Amino acid sequence: MVLYIGGGIAAAVLLVVLLAVIMSGGSARKRKDQNIRLGMAETQRRELYRDLIHAIDVYGPNTACREEWRRLGSKWKLTDQQIASIRDEGLDHNWTQAEILASMDQKQKTNRIEWVRIRTETKVDPIMP
């Protein structure tokens, strides 16, 4: 009889622990899902944003850069508007931009400065309005 009671208590404790693990896993999943936007996790959006900024440094604010942005976006099946949305999200949240490093050549520095100047003066992105 004592064996049955002890086994019942052990089973009940195991059931409570199992339910607690399942419930906490569901909460973690919900928190993670809230960070998904445009089918991408925040870390993926940050990486894409970094690549978008790098394309500006390489190509400058022009058609070649727009095509590179579209190529990057096509990996995730993103529209121009969605790419611009990620760009704006990165700017709004101050995601770390690739710094203008001493190792960058003058053309890359000029490209970045020109993009910032046009965006600031016209309030429109010259690459993908």
Q: Is residue 80 part of a domain?
A: yes
Interhelix angle 80-92/63-74, rounded to 10 degrees, is 100
Report how many domains make up the chain: 2
So what's the pLDDT on residue 58? 93
Q: Is residue 10 part of a domain?
A: yes
Please tell me the pTM assigned to this model. Answer: 0.70
pLDDT, tens digit (0-9, with 9 covering 90-100), for 4-29: 888 888 888 888 888 877 877 655 55
Q: Is residue 55 part of a domain?
A: yes
Q: Is residue 83 part of a domain?
A: yes
Asked if residue 62 and residue 3 are part of one domain, the reply reads no
Asked if residue 96 and residue 50 are part of one domain, the reply reads yes
Q: Cα separation of 117 and 27, whole Å?
A: 44
Asked if residue 9 and residue 72 are part of one domain, the reply reads no
Angle at 119 between CA 113 and CA 122, to 5 degrees: 130
Asked if residue 48 and residue 28 are part of one domain, the reply reads no
pLDDT, tens digit (0-9, with 9 covering 90-100), for 61-99: 999 999 999 999 999 999 999 999 999 999 899 887 666
So what's the pLDDT on residue 1? 82
Burial class (CB in 10 A: 0-12, 13-18, 19+), 40: middle
Query: Residue 16 is part of which domain span?
Result: 1-34
